[in-house]
Structure 1
Amino acid sequence: MAAPIASFIGKRILKENVANKFGQEDPYFEHVPASRLGRAFGKKTQRRRKAIPPGLSDNDARVLNRVKRRAYRLDYCLFNLCGIRFGWGSVIGLVPFFGDVLDAVLAMMVARECQRIDGGLPSYLHAKMVMNVIVDFLIGLVPFVGDLADAVFKANTRNAILLENYLREKAAKADRARTRSQRGQSHDRQVDLSLPEEFDRYQNDTLEP
C-alpha cells in the first residue's frame, strides 16, 4: 500500500504545491510591507492578522475567522524546518496510525465548522474539503516521507482558503445584485482591504490631493 501512496505523493501532491507556495500560504497571518504601514524605517515587514473580506455577515465572518485560526494552529503555529511550517497536526501525525487518525478527526472538525456559514456549504465544496482531509490522511500513513508530505499538503489551510474564496465570491455576488437593484442611485463598490493590491490602491487614492 505504501508504494502507490508514495507514487501519488511524488507525481501529484508535491507538484501541486507550487501553486500553494510550497506550503507557505499562511491562512491567518500575513507579513505586511512597511510601505503599507506608513513606515520607512525599522523592520521591513510586520506580522499581522489577515483582514476579513468585506460584505460578509457577522456569522460568516466569525466562522471564517475560527476556521483560519484553527488551520493556523494545526498547520503552522509551531516551527519552521527547511522552509516548511509545522503545526500541531504535523506533530500529532508523527504517532503511527493513531496520530494520523486523530489528525484526520481534527481536520474533519475544521471542515464541519466551515458548514456553519449562513446557508451552509454547497455540496461540491464540502466534498472537495472532505477529499482534502482524506488525501491528507492517506499520505500521512507513509512513514516519514508521508509525514513530511502531510506537512506540505496542509489540508486545513487548503480548506480555509477554499472557504475564504467562496465567501469572497458570495459577498461579491451580493454586492453586484445590490448594484443592479439600485440602478440610478449612487453606489460605491466595496473595497476589499484583505487583498494587498486593493489595500495599496485604496491607500494611494486617499493620499492623493
Structure 2
Amino acid sequence: MPDLAKHHHKQLQALERLAHRMDRAFRIPLIGVRIGWDSIAGLVPGVGDTIALIPAGYILYSGYRMGASAPILARMAANIGVDALIGSIPLAGDLFDVAWKANTRNTDLLRRHFEERAASDEPLPKRLGRKRFSSLTAPRELRLAPTYVGAHHPGALHRRKPHKQASWQHPLNRTLDS
C-alpha cells in the first residue's frame, strides 16, 4: 500500500499496540484462542466492561483527531456499541468479547481509511504500477488509448474495422489517421 504520513504511521502503530493488548495479548494454551485485557476485565461484573470502554473510546477519539471521516467514525462507534451491549451479558458476553475484538476492528478501519486516502493522493503512474487493472478498472484515459486495446487483445488492432471518420481524436488531443 502507499506510504502514510509519518505522524499517521506512528499514531496508528501506537493504537495497534493498544488494540493488541486489549484484544489479543495472551494465548490460551491447547485451545489457541487469543484474549486480551478487554476479555479479562469483562469477567468482573459491571465494572470490567465499563473499564474496557476507556481504551476503545481513546482509539475512537484518536481517529477523530487524526482526521478520519464521519462514516469511519460512525462504524467505529458502532463496533464499540455492539461490544459494550453484548459484552454486558454475563458469560455469553465474555465469549462474544473474545471473538468480536472491537479495538482491533477499529484500528484496521483506521489503517485502511488512511491508506486509501494516501492512495488517492498518489499520481496516476504510481497507482497503475502498484495494482493490476483490466479494461473495466483502467482509468478512462488509458482505456481510450489504442495501444491499450491492442495490448489487451493481441491482434485486436488488425482485426478491428477502420473508423468511418477520416481521423480519430486521441484522448491527449493528438490526431491519428485511420
**TM-score bucket of the superposed structures, by smaller chain:** 0.5 to 0.7
Matched letter for residue 60 of structure 1: H
Residue 37 of structure 2 is matched in structure 1 by 88
For residues 81 and 126 of structure 2, what CA distance do their matches in structure 1 show?
43
TM alignment of 1:8-157, pairs within 5 A? 53-80=1-28, 82-117=31-66, 120-157=67-104
For residues 58 and 77 of structure 2, what CA distance do their matches in structure 1 show?
10
Choose 1 or 2 for highest CA Rg: 2
For residues 145 and 57 of structure 1, what CA distance do their matches in structure 2 show?
41
For residues 75 and 26 of structure 2, what CA distance do their matches in structure 1 show?
27
1:84–1:152 CA contact under 8 A, matched in 2: no
Report runs of 4+ in structure 1 exceeding 3 Å deviation.
187-192
For residues 171 and 56 of structure 1, what CA distance do their matches in structure 2 show?
6
For residues 155 and 170 of structure 1, what CA distance do their matches in structure 2 show?
22
Deviation at 1:172, TM superposition (A): 0.9
TM alignment of 1:126-205, pairs within 5 A? 126-175=73-122, 178-179=123-124, 187-189=125-127
For residues 19 and 63 of structure 2, what CA distance do their matches in structure 1 show?
11
Q: Secondary structure at the match of 1:115?
A: helix
What is the RMSD computed on CA atoms of the aligned residues? 1.9
Give the count of matched residue pairs.
129
Q: Secondary structure at the match of 1:111?
A: helix
1:63–1:114 CA contact under 8 A, matched in 2: no
1:64–1:114 CA contact under 8 A, matched in 2: no
Q: Between the two proteins, what is the percent identity of the paired residues?
A: 36
For residues 61 and 121 of structure 2, what CA distance do their matches in structure 1 show?
24
For residues 39 and 15 of structure 2, what CA distance do their matches in structure 1 show?
17
Deviation at 1:64, TM superposition (A): 1.1
Deviation at 1:67, TM superposition (A): 1.3
Taking structure 1 as the reference length, what is the TM-score of the superposition? 0.57
Higher relative CO (Cα under 8 Å, sequence separation at least 6) belongs to: 1
Residue 8 of structure 1 is matched in structure 2 by none
1:63–1:116 CA contact under 8 A, matched in 2: no
* Structure 1 stretches lacking a partner, 5+ long: 1-52, 180-186, 193-209
Matched letter for residue 144 of structure 1: L
